[in-house]
Structure 1
Amino acid sequence: MPRYQNSQSFAIILNALEQEGYSVVEGVVNMADFGLPQARRRLVLIASKGFHVALPSSATPCGWYEAFTKCAEGIAHLIPMMLDSQLLLKQQQALERFLAGNAPTPLLIERVGGRTESKYKPGYLPCNTILRCLRRAAPTHFTDHKGCNRSKFADIWLPDGTVKSLSIEGAAKLQGFPDWYEFLSEAATAGSIIGYSVPPSFAGQLFMSAQSILKGAYL
Structure 2
Amino acid sequence: MRKPKLKKDAPIAVTLFSAGGGIEGGLVGAGIRPVASVDCDPNDKIFSRQMKFCRDANYQCYGGESYLATVEEMASKDFPGIPRNPFLLHASPVCSSFSSLSHLTRRREGDSDISAAKATAAAIATLQPQWFTLENAVKYYPSKSCRIILDALIENNYDFVTRDIDMADWGVPQNRERLILVARKNAPVLSKVFLPRKERRGWDSCIEGFAMPRSRLTNLLKAQKKSVLSKSLENDFKMAIIQRGGVCTGSGHPKSKNKSILRMEGEPSFTITRSMFIDSKGGSRSGAITYWDNLAKEAYQLPMRVIARIGGFPEWYRLPDRDAIAGSIIGLSVPPYFAKQLFLNLLAQN
* TM-score normalised by L of structure 1: 0.83
Give the one of 201, 211, 214 matched to 2:347: 211
Q: In 1, distance between residues paired with 2:311 and 2:326?
A: 12
Give the one of 237, 253, 274 matched to 1:132: 274
Paired residues in the alignment total 200
Structure 1 position 8 matched with structure 2 position 8:
no
Do the aligned residues in 2 keep the contact of 1:82 with 1:166 (CA within 8 Å)? no
Identify if the C-alpha distance between structure 1 residues 81 and 179 changes in structure 2 by more than 3 Å, giving closer, same or farther: farther
Deviation at 1:105, TM superposition (A): 2.8
Which residue of 2 is the match for residue 25 of structure 1?
Answer: 161
What amino acid is aligned across from residue 123 of structure 1 in structure 2? E
Which residue of 2 is the match for residue 85 of structure 1?
Answer: 218
Q: Unaligned regions of 5+ residues in structure 1, if any?
A: 70-75, 134-140, 215-219
Structure 1 position 122 matched with structure 2 position 255:
no
Q: In 2, distance between residues paired with 1:101 and 1:94?
A: 11
Which residue of 2 is the match for residue 58 of structure 1?
Answer: 197
SS of residue paired to 1:47: strand
Do the aligned residues in 1 keep the contact of 2:141 with 2:179 (CA within 8 Å)? no
Which residue of 1 is the match for residue 99 of structure 2?
Answer: none
Runs of 4+, deviation exceeding 3 Å: 78-82, 113-116, 144-147
Which residue of 1 is the match for residue 233 of structure 2?
Answer: 100
Deviation at 1:147, TM superposition (A): 3.6
Do the aligned residues in 2 keep the contact of 1:78 with 1:170 (CA within 8 Å)? no
Which residue of 2 is the match for residue 152 of structure 1?
Answer: 287
Q: In 1, distance between residues paired with 2:278 and 2:248?
A: 15
The RMSD of aligned alpha carbons is: 2.1
Which residue of 2 is the match for residue 179 of structure 1?
Answer: 315
Q: In 1, distance between residues paired with 2:180 and 2:212?
A: 32
Deviation at 1:97, TM superposition (A): 1.0
Q: In 2, distance between residues paired with 1:81 and 1:165?
A: 10
SS of residue paired to 1:164: strand
What amino acid is aligned across from residue 66 of structure 1 in structure 2? S
What amino acid is aligned across from residue 203 of structure 1 in structure 2? A
Do the aligned residues in 1 keep the contact of 2:248 with 2:270 (CA within 8 Å)? no
Identify if the C-alpha distance between structure 1 residues 3 and 175 changes in structure 2 by more than 3 Å, giving closer, same or farther: closer
Q: In 2, distance between residues paired with 1:164 and 1:115?
A: 19
Do the aligned residues in 2 keep the contact of 1:132 with 1:142 (CA within 8 Å)? yes
Which residue of 2 is the match for residue 137 of structure 1?
Answer: none
What amino acid is aligned across from residue 144 of structure 2 in structure 1? Q
Identify if the C-alpha distance between structure 1 residues 189 and 88 changes in structure 2 by more than 3 Å, giving closer, same or farther: same
What amino acid is aligned across from residue 27 of structure 1 in structure 2? R
Q: Unaligned regions of 5+ residues in structure 2, if any?
A: 1-137, 250-258
What amino acid is aligned across from residue 156 of structure 1 in structure 2? Y
Do the aligned residues in 1 keep the contact of 2:237 with 2:264 (CA within 8 Å)? no
